[in-house]
Chains A and B, each alone.
Chain A
Amino acid sequence: MPFTRKRGLSSVLALFVISLAALLHASQAFPDYPVRPVAEYRIRAEKADITVAVEAVEDVKDQKTYFDTELTSKGYIPVFVVIHNGSKDSSFIFDKTKVTYNSTAVGNSALKQSSKGGVAIATVAASAMLLSPIYGPAIFLGTAKLASASRIQQNYLSKDLKSKTLSPGGDTHGFMYIQVPKSGPRDKINLSFPLANTGTDDTITVELTF
């Protein structure tokens, strides 16, 4: 009988320790992706007072660090976007639902030339789209550990690039998740960021290919 009681108590204690460990694991925060001044990014474009910079997080180690998921093998790359309004008196509205995306194959024999900004661009994946992080992460997670899946989902939501008004001198940053081939080299990606001036209704569109 004492043996049974001892075993029972040990089981309860073990269960408690496991729960506590799960609790601690769940409370671990994902690190924030480092943000630098927009001028320090290698891939950036400027138009009027708006500067947009992007940094594709293609290293799987970095993907594990910031998202706890290897996104490339699931067919996505997280792209960190920084937008800066350098104007002294104008505000601009960034509506993320208006960002457009084309996958481009520069140097491909089937390339269709376009005069867009003087750069040869060929749209090869009209079906490709920007993923809304609300739906996207569920695709990324796949068979991810169920216990931490929702934690990962929330991390995607928190790090997501959000719609925002950029006041004079203001900026914003966050991730967009873009579909790419699961293996092999990816095509060039072209992103267009339209920003509307709140005072004049004029829209500035900044394009980046990387």
Chain B
Amino acid sequence: MHDSILLRIFSVACLLFGLSLTNTFSASAQTVQSPPDTRLAVRAALILTPEFCADISKQKHEKFEVGKAACNLLEPALKDVFSSLTVVPSESQSGDAQVVLLPRIVAVDRTGGTTSFSKITMIMQLEWTVKDTSGRTIWLETIQGTAVGHPGTIGQVKGNREKMTNGAMEDVAKKSASRMSQAPELRKVASKLAVLVQP
């Protein structure tokens, strides 16, 4: 009798717990502005150096391939912000770009999970430096992205780690696109360039 009550309580608890895990991986719920309505009339070069793309963040006994995530996700997120966006491996190869975009990962942190089902949060901070053709910094911004998930079982750990890294970087990329497209400093540069090309 007592066993059966305990069993029922446990079953209900398991069910509720299982339901709470249905949203295993979710990017930050923070408000992200809608995509840019107009592109900045600026030719931009996104500098993704081989070192940056190979950046691995080590925390405790885990490795997070943050550079790989950044190099896969930043360009697709930013391509609609500028009239043209080229990806180059160094600043010296930016060609006829009117601005160069330099990303730098400043912090990566993930909370530890005590069980396979523990909620874990990954935070990633990326700093953007945008320079004009004279090399002057015209915009500097730190973007923070987050992703929430669970460590998973032994077989899922590696895959889940990658999903968390990509989730946090995707959040960073979306927020970066939003901030860049709305930055008055970048709009000002676009306006100046537009004036210059007018007959």
Contacts and interface: CB of A to CB of B under 8 A. Distances in A.
A167 B141 CA distance: 11
Interface string B99-114: 0000000110111101
A13 B139 CA distance: 55
A134 B124 CA distance: 11
B136 A201 contact: yes
Interface string A11-24: 01100100110110
B107 A134 contact: yes
B185 A13 contact: no
Interface stretch (A69-77, A106-114, A117-125, A146-154): A146-154
Interface stretch (B2-10, B41-49, B81-89, B170-178): B2-10
Interface residues of A, number: 38
Nearest to A169: B184
A9 B111 contact: no
A91 B184 contact: yes
A198 B121 contact: no
Task: Kindly list the 5 A-B residue pairs having the minimum CB-CB distance in the complex, ordered from nearest.
Answer: A162-B142, A150-B111, A167-B184, A93-B140, A9-B6
27 contacts: A2-B3, A5-B3, A6-B6, A9-B3, A10-B6, A13-B6, A13-B9, A16-B14, A19-B115, A20-B17, A22-B114, A22-B115, A22-B118, A23-B119, A26-B111, A26-B118, A27-B119, A93-B137, A93-B140, A95-B140, A150-B110, A150-B112, A151-B111, A162-B142, A162-B144, A167-B183, A167-B185
Given A6-B6, A146-B112, 13 more contacts: A10-B6, A19-B114, A19-B115, A23-B118, A93-B139, A147-B112, A147-B114, A150-B111, A154-B111, A167-B183, A167-B184, A167-B185, A198-B137
